[in-house]
Amino acid sequence: MAVPTKEEDEDPPISSTSLLSFDTDDCSTSIPPKPPFSSVIFTPLILVTCVSLSTAIIFAYLFFSHSSVSFISHVSRPLQKLKHPVVLLISSDGFRFGYQYKTDTPNIDRLIRNGTEAELGLIPVFPTLTFPNHYAIVTGLYPAYHGIINNIFLDPNIREPFTMASYDPKWWLGEPLWETVVNHGLKAATYFWPGSEVNKGGWTCPESLCKIYNGSVPFEERVDTVLNYFDLPNSEIPSFMTLYFGDPDHQGHKVGPDDPQITEAIARVDGMIGKLIQGLEARGVFEDVNIIMLGDHGMVGTCDKKLIFLEDLARWIKIPKDWIQSYSPLLSIRPPPSYSSKDVVTKMNEGLKSGKVKNGQYLKVYVKEELPDRLHYSESDRIPPIIGLIDEAFKVEQKSSKRNECGGSHGYDNAFFSMRSIFIGHGPKFARGRKVPSFENVQIYNMVTTILNIQGASNNGTSSFPKTILLPSH
């Protein structure tokens, strides 16, 4: 585990200058007069005493300095004001890894500098879309197991469409963190998070602690509401809270990841983090709160010149519009039962590889059972039987159009670096100035339950993972 590189923790410089100088050039045979006996004895004693004291001081400084650093770096810090652990989970939608370098972000930088960061970003689950990933973060489950396999989809068994306004618990499988927390007799508060509006298990989305999504609510109001929770009596402060910002995803879709609007959006989010930090400091609890800041996915630039048209496959197989569940960046196809999915895939790939379909080489189609195992995207009836993986920045459409638009998108293979987001952990359970390797966001669930000292539900995360990120208890 890394030791903070604070200036005051560095070893003091050791001079290379000798304590005694010897001149060997003078070979004179003259015998100098003898000094008095007391001087011969006293002078060396002074020198030896000074050297001993200096050495003792240096070793004492190094020992106690090292001990202090070890305590700060290797053991969780005790709470000063709060009476119980608190986790504040913050999502900045569409915050692609690297955005933090686009402009000055003094407040995010402060969390990074004094906390733990995934050095090359947080890896989203596939598909790299908002609802599947936000719900994966709070359940520790891949979409095939938590049920939200896309932002919009059709369940063939219940014959109903899921939309981002579907609050019926039949859609939302698994046990999200707010449900886990209240099941253990603790309090949870959510200021927007996909699935938090759903009454499920012990969670009833209480009006005072659960906000129904409304994108028009100013970010400042969201931060103020969370800060107000810390004005409650200590025993009433929620142990788990969520805070959601829709930027920079909103701007990224309109202009792509490299437009000045993204820079402005990042600066705005950083300002909200600054407002949050200032409010927590004013209440004397900033160092007591475990803040986890992350994003759900990244963003990549797209333009209509990077298109693949399904109509171009007509000489091999016709793909009617009503077979399509989603086009881009995840192609999902559910043909009628009378068609063999394997046959459809074989004919589609034959056409895509023929060289006669524009940009065909940038799309590969699978029956879902043959998708790469690392995607964990087959074990659900909600996932259509045919899935097309589209290369980064390309899009699939039904037929050619004359549009010439550029913007941004996500949802692609989570192996693409552009789909990564950020992870920053700050607080008593996170080491200061530490960098950790990238990891999948399904690990967050066990991390939070470990901080709160509660038993989580079964999930796809690794039970030992929190030990690699969190400081042990003091």
Give per-residue pLDDT as tens, 161-210. Answer: 999 999 999 999 999 999 999 999 999 999 999 999 999 999 999 999 99
pLDDT at position 442, please?
Answer: 98
- 105, 130, 190, 449: the active-site residue: 130
Domain boundary assignment for the chain: 86-301+415-469, 304-405
Rounded-to-integer distance, Cα 11 and Cα 324, Å:
65
Of 93-102, 368-377, 396-405, minimum mean pLDDT range: 396-405
Starting from the edge strand earliest in sequence, which strands make up the sheet with 363-367, in order? 324-326, 330-333, 386-390, 363-367
Q: Is 276 left (phi over 0), alpha (psi -120 to 50) or beta?
A: alpha
- What does the mean pLDDT of the chain come to? 88
Rounded-to-integer distance, Cα 464 and Cα 17, Å:
51
* Mean pLDDT along residues 288-305: 96
Residue 440 DSSP one-character state: B
Strand partners, 123: 440
- Select from 300, 288, 269, 277 the least CA-distant residue to 91: 269
pLDDT at position 1, please?
Answer: 35
pTM here is 0.84
Rounded-to-integer distance, Cα 28 and Cα 324, Å:
103
**pLDDT of 363 over the 60 cut:** yes
One of 3.40.50.300, 3.40.720.10, 3.90.470.10, 3.40.50.1820 is the CATH number of 86-301+415-469, namely 3.40.720.10
Q: Are 303 and 406 in contact (CB under 8 A)?
A: yes
* Mean pLDDT along residues 82-111: 98
Question: Which tokens belong to 455?
Answer: 């038993």
Q: Kindly state the percentage of the chain with pLDDT values over 90.
A: 81
Residue 415 DSSP one-character state: T
One of 3.40.640.10, 1.10.150.20, 3.30.1360.180, 3.40.50.720 is the CATH number of 304-405, namely 3.30.1360.180
**3-state secondary structure at position 106:** helix
pLDDT at position 401, please?
Answer: 81
pLDDT at position 54, please?
Answer: 52
State yes or no: is 130 an active-site residue. Answer: yes
**pLDDT of 16 over the 80 cut:** no
Rounded-to-integer distance, Cα 134 and Cα 164, Å:
12
Question: Which tokens belong to 454?
Answer: 């509660």
Which of 19-23, 71-75, 196-200 has the highest average model confidence (pLDDT)? 196-200
Rounded-to-integer distance, Cα 329 and Cα 323, Å:
16
Residue with tokens 């304590």: 19
Alpha carbon distances (Å) from 333 to 39, 212, 268, 367? 99, 32, 39, 10
* Mean pLDDT along residues 417-431: 98
Query: Hey, CA dihedral for 384, 389, 392, 395, is it positive or negative?
Result: negative
- C-alpha count within 13 angstroms, C-beta hemisphere, residue 63: 6
* Confidence label for 13 from pLDDT (cuts 50, 70 and 90): very low
Give per-residue pLDDT as tens, 239-268. Answer: 999 999 999 999 999 999 999 999 999 999
pLDDT at position 391, please?
Answer: 98
